[in-house]
Amino acid sequence: MIDYKLLEALATVVETGGFERAGLALGLSQSAVSQRIRTLEIRLGQPVLVRSPVLRATPAGQRLLNHVQQVQLLERDLAKSIPALSEPAARLRIALNADSLATWWAAAVGEVSTREGLLLDLVVEDQDIGLRRMREGDVAACLCSSPQSVAGARCVHIGTMTYSPLARPDYVRRYFGKGLNELSLQTAPAIVFGPNDQLQHRFLAQCGYHGTFPHHLCPSSEGFVKLALAGMGYGMIPELQAHAEIQAGRLVSVAPEHTLEVSLYWHFWRHGGGVMERLTNALRSAAILHSTG
């Protein structure tokens, strides 16, 4: 079998971001941690860590991390039947989309995480990068809008988020007072999450518009809403997130007939054990995603 002391050292170095901190966490000296990493690299015949520009795992190191994460999950299950085995909380690295994290995610997983003593390492990624990190073994699960399955992983549909093109009422009067047409779409500043954000393009295509448009880039869900509230532009915002603002009339749709539905899929390694199953069940029953879908 693999020497798990070595893998644990690797996981702890990556998690804490340094050899000294890993030593503290493991109750070892810094040089003992370095020695374990060196031993692992000699056995593998290749590096498991790169030191610059930031400390991170090599592709081989990431595969080891994914493996050790899965083993830790299985150990959690085991510890339930053999309480004497109980360890400190298991860590689970999960990639997810920013809008889920900004809205319903924590409410859906909070109870099960606390009950299972899970600690989450959340990384915010768009779907292409999230799924790539999944394939590379860098994350144990990925929540995104792509149903494209990853070899060795399961993919389940967990619900739908509804997006509307929202802006401040005075902004709508200023730019869309004469209706939604080529001229207004060409001149009204939009807010876009990032260069790969497809929602704004999908909305414009629904309107039959394929030209260019001025836009702000704002890679933050909450910042996105704040830009709209400051009258800086209109943008595709989850109804879940803007509920209170819509109710209070602070944000209105520039085109109430145009909403976009985004399906969300949960990808996770098959061998995640009972903890992963219970986390998956909690996500699937996240009522908030169904009531608004």
Q: Are 8 and 2 in contact (CB under 8 A)?
A: no
Q: Which of residues 188-217 bind a copy of itself (CB under 8 A)?
A: 189, 195-196, 211-212, 214-217
Instruction: Please tell me the count of residues contacting a copy of itself according to CB under 8 A.
Output: 46
The CB-of-108 to a copy of itself minimum distance in angstroms stands at 8
To a copy of itself, the closest distance from the beta carbon of 139 in angstroms equals: 12
Q: Which residue carries 């009972």 as its tokens? A: 274
Residue 279 tokens read as 């986390």
Closest CA to 170 of 237, 247, 239, 232: 232
* Integer Rg of the chain from CA: 23
Nearer to a copy of itself, 26 or 48 (CB): 26
Least distance to a copy of itself from the beta carbon of 171, Å?
A: 9
3-class secondary-structure state, position 257? coil
For a copy of itself, the closer of residues 212 and 256 by Cβ is 212
| Segments of the chain assigned E as strands | 49-50, 56-57, 91-96, 119-124, 141-144, 153-167, 190-192, 215-217, 235-238, 252-253, 260-269
Q: Does 47 bind a copy of itself (CB under 8 A)?
A: no
Per CB under 8 A, does 246 bind a copy of itself? no
User: Hey, which residues between 70 and 109 contact a copy of itself (CB under 8 A)?
Assistant: 88-89, 98, 101-103, 105-107, 109
- Closest CB to a copy of itself among residues 217, 287: 217
Q: Give the Cα separation of 288 and 101 in Å (integer).
A: 13
Q: Which residues bind a copy of itself (CB under 8 A)?
A: 15-17, 24-25, 88-89, 98, 101-103, 105-107, 109-111, 113-114, 119-124, 189, 195-196, 211-212, 214-223, 226-227, 229-232
